Amino acid sequence: MLTRAEWRRIRNPAISAFCLFWVLIGLGVWQIYRLHWKEGILAAIHVAEISPPIAMPANPGRFEKVFVTGRWVPGKAVLYGDEVHDTPAGPIEGGQLVMPFRQDSGQVILVDVGWVHETAPVPAVEPSGEVKVVGYVHKPEAPGWFAGQDQPALRLYYTLNPQKMGAAMGFSAVAPVALIEIGDLPPPGSPLPQPATGLPRPPNNHYEYALTWFGFSIVLVIEFLLFARKRLQEA
């Protein structure tokens, strides 16, 4: 049991450590809540992936699998991004091929048909006539601090902006969002675009974050006990 004089020697550090301890515990508990919330989102994404796609609504969410019907506009494309894919033969450079698709309503929507081993946009050969394209919606991006400089004359883009891309292909207006096509990967070595194989998934690192905050709280207790012991021995 501490005497009044001993308590006075460690009172302020003890109060500070006590408050910080509960802050750390609160942060850990908050991450546990976030973990359960994120698991719910991931479960909903899994259900959407194994379910049939729905006709694209007016305001689709990013984690919905949707489809549009219409016809490909031939001979037009832009290249988006600057990605390097690792292969058994070594890294190869390329980007996402974006092509226009005219929906039955008449509106043109830009479709990211997949990654291609190209440094200039070459339109892929798509089926003629009425087709259905399955994918998920991607909203326009704002240029980041380290984004490359778009080159409209070369139809090379580093920021996914449907309006700017559409203008480069000669369209006065396109849908305000892009569609990321979902499909099967072509055989290895094929020059065909490599589409997305599923819906995007947000990272779920909240369990690790919770362990980190709880770990900090344990370290704080140990550090304070060592500090208090040393302070009291100095009395």
Q: Smallest Cα–Cα separation from 181: which of 120, 105, 124? A: 124
The pTM score is 0.80
Query: For strand 178-181 and strand 108-116, is the pairing parallel, antiparallel, or unpaired?
Result: parallel
Burial (CB < 10 A; 0-12, 13-18, 19+), residue 82, is: middle
What would the DSSP string read from start to end of 162-180? HHHHHHHTT-S---SSEEE
Identify whether the C-beta of residue 48 lies closer than 8 Å to the C-beta of residue 65: yes
CB 38 within 8 A of CB 28: no
Token pair 């601090």: residue = 145
Q: What is the pLDDT along the chain (235 residues), one digit of tens a residue?
A: 777 777 787 889 899 999 999 999 999 999 999 999 999 999 999 999 999 999 998 888 878 999 999 999 999 999 998 766 665 556 678 899 999 999 999 999 999 999 998 888 888 888 888 999 999 999 988 776 766 788 888 899 988 999 999 999 999 899 999 999 999 988 877 888 999 999 999 999 999 999 999 999 999 999 999 998 888 887 5
For the chain, what are the domain ranges? 4-46+204-233, 66-181
Residue whose pair of structure tokens reads 């226009």 in the numeric block: 100
Q: Which two tokens stand for residue 131?
A: 């087709």
Using a CB cutoff of 8 Å and minimum separation of 24, what contacts does 157-161 make? 157/78, 157/79, 157/80, 157/81, 157/98, 158/80, 158/81, 158/82, 160/80, 160/112
